[in-house]
Structure 1
């Protein structure tokens, strides 16, 4: 798996196995779409305490939830200086997302591989 910083951004992906929703631009999660560990505060804080988007992705994929792009694209605007000290600085620039992804893979495995195990899980 590539480093988080090398992932393609704002992609209209049709492959549900690799479509990664980022919560900064808005994500709708339906009821009952997550693995039961989603509310386990201890595991979340141990594995990826500042990366809820990664946590929610893992929990949805482990529950075999289909991820669908809305088809709507827009450009996000970053105001100069507003990210200083924020999560983007810690997780993206500071490479913590890669650490959190590694932690989740060690605990739960790679959820993108579920499709390779059972093609019926990914339309």
Structure 2
């Protein structure tokens, strides 16, 4: 019986009971993922990605996530498709406490780079600057990525080489006056694979991994002063806004994944600040004020 069917059977239960079961399912999935990584041995052969430019997998981390970081990176190194680089970006003060189990992965292809502390933006901004001629796939530092994850993204990227592609997304909803509706009113984890219309736009989310074609995003994406002032805690929103300004199509892959977050890793993330404290809404409003072209009234719709 699948986890989703199990949840349906307990529908009449109390909220607290269902929360407990959900936590149990998450723990079970995490244990399965850990078992898959225990005997870590990079595959003897991996398929070529077949893209027209180099493929870089880019992520960042910081000390509170270090206990689970090696597990995430191992899952990225064990993909069926081989990336040209797997790069971990760290702030200068964070490199000294990096655990041995992560350092050992340098022997298996991991590259560790040091950059300015841009918080969550470290996973994308330095790579956009350093590898501007490459396809860049972002990954989070607290999740297990199944072996076919990268292949799924790359397969779609070959079909739509100028589109930004992800495996998971929401539908960002805009009111008739052109302003974004509150984040809580969006359609989460949508099955839509592209924009619905000018007022319902596909918003790709970071945990699922997102691939950016070479030079697809506008130069404004690298404007540190702007993203630190307008959107300091929500790189996903900033990147969505930049893709909207550039008129770049966003597509979700046909395959969907039930991503596994390592136990307790979410306790130190930005999700609490952004969702619980309505941080997403305030940052989106700041972007709309700074970039009026984000309004559906000022953009043409392309499905």
What TM-score range do you get, normalising by the shorter chain? 0.7 to 0.9
Q: Secondary structure at the match of 1:54?
A: helix
* Structure number with higher strand proportion: 2
Gaps of 5+ in 1: none
Structure-to-structure mapping, 1:1-123, within 5 angstroms: 1-16=180-195, 17=198, 18-78=201-261, 81-109=264-292, 111=294, 113=296, 117-119=299-301, 122-123=302-303
Q: Secondary structure at the match of 1:106?
A: helix
- Structure with the bigger RCO (C-alpha within 8 Å, sep 6+) is 1
| Structure with max Cα Rg | 2
| Change in 2 beyond 3 A, CA 1:94/1:117 | closer
TM-score by length of 2: 0.37
User: Could you report, residue by residue, the CA deviation over 1:31-72 in whole angstroms, capped at 9, with x for unpaired residues?
Assistant: 122122100000000000111100001001100101111112
Q: Distance in 2 between matches of 1:64 and 1:45?
A: 23
Q: Distance in 2 between matches of 1:9 and 1:110?
A: 24
Cα RMSD (Å): 2.1
TM-score by length of 1: 0.84
* Aligned positions, number: 120
Gaps of 5+ in 2: 1-179
| Change in 2 beyond 3 A, CA 1:117/1:60 | closer
